[in-house]
Amino acid sequence: MELRTLRYFVAVAEELHFGRAAARLHMSQPPLSRAIKQMEADVGAPLLVRSPAGVTLTPVGAVLLDEARDLLDHADRVRVRVSAAAGVAAITVGILGDGTDPGVARLASAYRRRHPSIDIRIRDTDLTDPTCGLRARLVDVALTRAPFDEAALTVRTLRTDPIGVVLRADDPLARRDRLRLADLSDRRWFQFPQGTDPLWQSYWNGGRPREGPVVRAVQECLQAVLWNGTVGLAPLGHDLPAELAVVPLTDMTPSRVVAVWNEGDTNPLVRSFVELATATYRH
């Protein structure tokens, strides 16, 4: 299997929808569908169950997803080490969350204008590592959300966003103008896998232990709400499917959008990134 097709598969498996995966990969849907069908032919078993609402993973697909993530992480580490040895002028940026945030688009344009000859590499990460691979040196700087363990990292707050609870649109609580965490005490919440940063897990669980399905990606969170009636938290201002609603939480600390880099890093490309991020997110 080629790394390119593995990336295609991971995108579809995390988005659980071919259209969203194609948009994330900046490609059209037909070649993506063909690539996945060819992968299934190579494996000799279905990887996905397709339906008008989207896709779900088969047991074989779930195994491949774990292995593909490990392989792609290893490939990223190899590329970073080789580029460093070759002295290539490049910066790798880890991004967690919604890539449609207008702040991301403004920052990308500003950085490209300032550094037109620099190879800017993007590593789109799932929700299990809020530092986007910084500690493993997979990225030079991360654009993500706090809180998380900040040991040996430098964190710059760029923006704060109020938080709401995501519910099915037909949930009685979805008709309320605002809610408190106590209103959700008897509900199931989505969880992150074992080993996820405990500060990060605690924040998105409203500060206390919860029970519910395990998720790794934003779309998995939304699907958990849609299919299981699970509740979860999300920053306000994001577009949601018509079947879902978000209600503001009055007693939830706002979410911080942050730029993060390794403590003591003197890379001028990282410094420039943080400066531009601070300026563009201020507007």
Q: How many CB atoms lie within 10 A of CB 105?
A: 12
Q: Are residues 147 and 280 in the same domain?
A: yes
pLDDT beyond 90 at 161? yes
Q: Are residues 178 and 249 in the same domain?
A: yes
Residue 198 sits in a domain whose CATH number is 3.40.190.290
Give residue-wise pLDDT tens across range 35-75: 999 999 999 999 999 988 789 999 999 999 999 988 987 88
8 Å CB contact between 19 and 29 = yes
pLDDT at 70: 87
State the residue for tokens 């699907």: 223
**Domain encompassing residue 134:** 89-160+254-283
Q: Are residues 209 and 241 in the same domain?
A: yes
Q: What is the rounded distance in angstroms from the CA atom of residue 103 to the CA atom of residue 107? A: 6
8 Å CB contact between 121 and 92 = yes
pLDDT at 194: 86
**Residue count of the chain:** 283
- Residue type (1 letter), 70: D
8 Å CB contact between 120 and 273 = no
8 Å CB contact between 63 and 163 = no
User: Strand, coil or helix: what is 18?
Assistant: helix
Task: Write the burial class of residue 4 (CB in 10 Å: 0-12 exposed, 13-18 middle, 19+ buried).
Answer: exposed
pLDDT at 97: 66
Closest by CA position to 239, among listed 220, 253, 219, 255? 219
Cβ-Cβ contacts under 8 Å for 187 (sequence gap 6 or more): 229, 230, 231
Residue 262 sits in a domain whose CATH number is 3.40.190.10
pLDDT beyond 70 at 86? no
Q: What is the pTM of this model?
A: 0.72
Q: What is the rounded distance in angstroms from the CA atom of residue 142 to the CA atom of residue 122? A: 10
Eight-class DSSP state of 164? E
pLDDT at 255: 93
pLDDT at 84: 60
Q: Are residues 147 and 271 in the same domain?
A: yes
Q: Are residues 44 and 77 in the same domain?
A: yes
Give residue-wise pLDDT tens across range 226-273: 998 899 899 998 778 889 999 999 999 999 999 999 998 888 889 899
pLDDT beyond 70 at 107? yes
Q: Which value, in Å, is the radius of gyration of the alpha carbons in the chain?
A: 19
The pair of structure tokens assigned to 31 is 């070649």
8 Å CB contact between 115 and 275 = no
Q: What is the rounded distance in angstroms from the CA atom of residue 47 to the CA atom of residue 94? A: 28
Backbone φ and ψ for 181, nearest 5 degrees, come out as: -60, -35
Q: Are residues 129 and 70 in the same domain?
A: no
